[in-house]
């Protein structure tokens, strides 16, 4: 089987899990696409996963109520061994990157990290990933009974529902006692849609001029049209916006239906994080800005003059 470890939060299946399903189906590896749901009170997550996978394995246990890298790695490795998985697919999130190498060690398996493409090459699994700040795409491959892969978020299109729902099975686990305990957690509260889940994203660059303009124009337009808010690395480095909003090679990779770039020059590192957006709309006063080379629609002009009119027009259409 191809084993996918589901990512979920707040009782909802994360978009990244659907991307992993697509990656699994494109990999050419044999066996049913199987989603493993770890956690407590995950019935809704399992039901959602069953819409996309051939089968769903559910470990609904008190020991899994809180994420722990040691426990997640042990659970994943156990199921992979018992199910004779050919491939283990884990999300390239912060937690996924933390426990995936542990799974590879437990399984004595090759580890392909942060992949953006998967395909079969004979008996080998071939993958592509970015390197040298996304200036180079390298191809790597591994051939082994089982291979562990992490998928770069936003690199694959989310899977469509399958023709028939997959079967669900409860599984038993022999879990170790965690050596590290989570004693507290702080969650940033926001009324906006999460950046990696958003169908529309409005991103601001240094071209918006100031933190105040960012709040007025970027956040203002995003709130008016119900979009997520993104930022370039330059904006984050300047302290205008938090790192959680950074899009690009060293931030988040996104693939929304529409990506609105305000005052974004279009450095290659930024393009690597949003280049697969279905539609890219750019507004920049520099007609030679690289962003216009990838944009589907572009306006050459001052963001501070154009965006207020867009916000007003969006308000009238609602």
- As beta bridge partners, residue 257 has none
What average pLDDT score do residues 152-163 get? 90
Whether the pLDDT of residue 55 is over 80: the answer is yes
SS3 label, residue 95: helix
Whether the pLDDT of residue 136 is over 80: the answer is yes
Residue 295 lies in a domain: yes
Residue 138 lies in a domain: yes
Q: Which of 170, 192, 223 is the last residue of a domain?
A: 170
Q: Which CATH number fits the domain that encloses residue 247? A: 3.40.50.1220
83/122 same-domain check: yes
Instruction: Report CA 236 to chain centroid distance, whole Å.
Output: 19
78/217 same-domain check: no
For residue range 205-242, what is the model confidence (pLDDT) as tens digits?
A: 999 999 999 999 999 999 999 999 999 999 999 999 99
Binding region: 206, 232-233, 246-250, 263-270, 284
Alpha-carbon gap, residue 256 to 259, rounded angstroms: 6
Whether the pLDDT of residue 131 is over 90: the answer is no
Tokens representing residue 231 in the block = 């930022």
The reported pLDDT for the residue numbered 317 is 65
37/75 same-domain check: yes
Domains held by the chain: number: 2
The reported pLDDT for the residue numbered 30 is 85
CA dihedral (186, 191, 197, 201) in degrees, to 10, reads: -120
Q: How far is CA 161 from CA 10, 18, 54, 86, 89, in A?
A: 21, 9, 11, 23, 19
For 175-232, what is the HEC assignment? CCCCCCCCCCCCCCCCCCCCHHHCCEEEEECHHHCCHHHHHHHHHHHHHHHCCEEEEC
153 — pLDDT class (breaks 50, 70, 90): confident
Whether the pLDDT of residue 316 is over 90: the answer is no
Q: Which of 170, 190, 211 is the last residue of a domain?
A: 170
14/158 same-domain check: yes
Residue 176 lies in a domain: no
**More confidently predicted of 283 and 10:** 283
Residue 192 lies in a domain: no
150/43 same-domain check: yes
Instruction: Report CA 88 to chain centroid distance, whole Å.
Output: 17
245/113 same-domain check: no
166/252 same-domain check: no
Q: How far is CA 93 from CA 58, 113, 177, 318, in A?
A: 21, 11, 24, 35
Alpha-carbon gap, residue 96 to 290, rounded angstroms: 33
For residue range 83-120, what is the model confidence (pLDDT) as tens digits?
A: 999 999 999 998 999 999 999 999 999 999 999 999 99
Parent domain of 204: 200-313
Burial class, 131, CB count within 10 angstroms (exposed 0-12 / middle 13-18 / buried 19+): exposed
Overall size of the chain counted in residues: 318
24/164 same-domain check: yes
Binding region for FAD: 206, 232-233, 246-250, 263-270, 284
Alpha-carbon gap, residue 63 to 58, rounded angstroms: 13
Residue 188 lies in a domain: no
**More confidently predicted of 76 and 182:** 76
250 — pLDDT class (breaks 50, 70, 90): confident
Burial class, 189, CB count within 10 angstroms (exposed 0-12 / middle 13-18 / buried 19+): exposed
Alpha-carbon gap, residue 264 to 208, rounded angstroms: 8
Q: Which CATH number fits the domain that encloses residue 158? A: 3.40.50.620
For residue range 181-202, what is the model confidence (pLDDT) as tens digits?
A: 888 877 766 667 888 889 999 9
Alpha-carbon gap, residue 149 to 221, rounded angstroms: 38
To 5 degrees, how large is the angle CA 162–CA 103–CA 128?
A: 60
The reported pLDDT for the residue numbered 134 is 67
54/106 same-domain check: yes
* Number of helical H runs and strand E runs in the chain: 10, 17
The reported pLDDT for the residue numbered 273 is 87
Residue 112 lies in a domain: yes
Q: Which of 170, 185, 213 is the last residue of a domain?
A: 170
- Kindly report the average pLDDT of the chain as a whole number: 92
Do the Cβ atoms of 271 and 251 come closer than 8 Å? no
56/117 same-domain check: yes
**More confidently predicted of 188 and 18:** 18
55/116 same-domain check: yes
222/90 same-domain check: no
């Amino acid at each position: 089987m191809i084993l996918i470890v589901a990512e979920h939060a707040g009782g909802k299946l994360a978009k990244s899990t659907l991307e992993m399903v697509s990656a699994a189906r494109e990999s050419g590896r044999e066996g049913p696409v199987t989603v493993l749901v770890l956690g407590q009170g995950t019935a809704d997550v399992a039901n959602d996963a069953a819409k996309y996978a051939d089968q769903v394995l559910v470990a609904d246990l008190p020991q899994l109520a809180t994420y722990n890298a040691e426990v997640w790695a042990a659970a994943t490795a156990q199921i992979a061994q018992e199910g004779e998985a050919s491939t283990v697919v884990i999300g390239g999130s912060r937690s996924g990157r933390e426990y995936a190498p542990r799974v590879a060690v437990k399984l004595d398996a090759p580890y392909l990290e942060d992949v953006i493409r998967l395909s079969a090459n004979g008996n080998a699994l071939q993958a592509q990933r970015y390197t040298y700040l996304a200036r180079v795409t390298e191809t790597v491959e591994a051939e082994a009974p089982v291979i562990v892969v992490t998928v770069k978020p936003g690199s694959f299109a989310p899977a469509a529902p399958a023709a028939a729902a997959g079967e669900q099975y409860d599984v038993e686990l022999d879990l170790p006692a965690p050596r590290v305990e989570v004693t507290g957690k702080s969650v940033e509260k926001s009324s906006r849609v999460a950046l990696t889940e958003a169908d529309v994203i409005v991103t601001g660059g240094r071209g918006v001029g100031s933190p105040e303009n960012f709040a007025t124009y970027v956040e203002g337009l995003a709130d008016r049209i119900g979009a997520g808010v993104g930022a370039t690395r330059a904006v984050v480095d300047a302290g205008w916006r938090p790192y959680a909003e950074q899009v690009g090679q060293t931030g988040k990779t996104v693939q929304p239906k529409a990506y609105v770039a305000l005052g974004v020059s279009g450095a290659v590192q930024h393009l690597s994080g949003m280049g697969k957006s279905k539609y890219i709309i750019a507004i920049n006063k520099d007609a030679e800005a690289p962003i216009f080379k990838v944009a589907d629609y572009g306006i050459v002009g001052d963001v501070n003059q154009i965006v207020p009119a867009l916000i007003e027009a969006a308000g009238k259409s609602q």
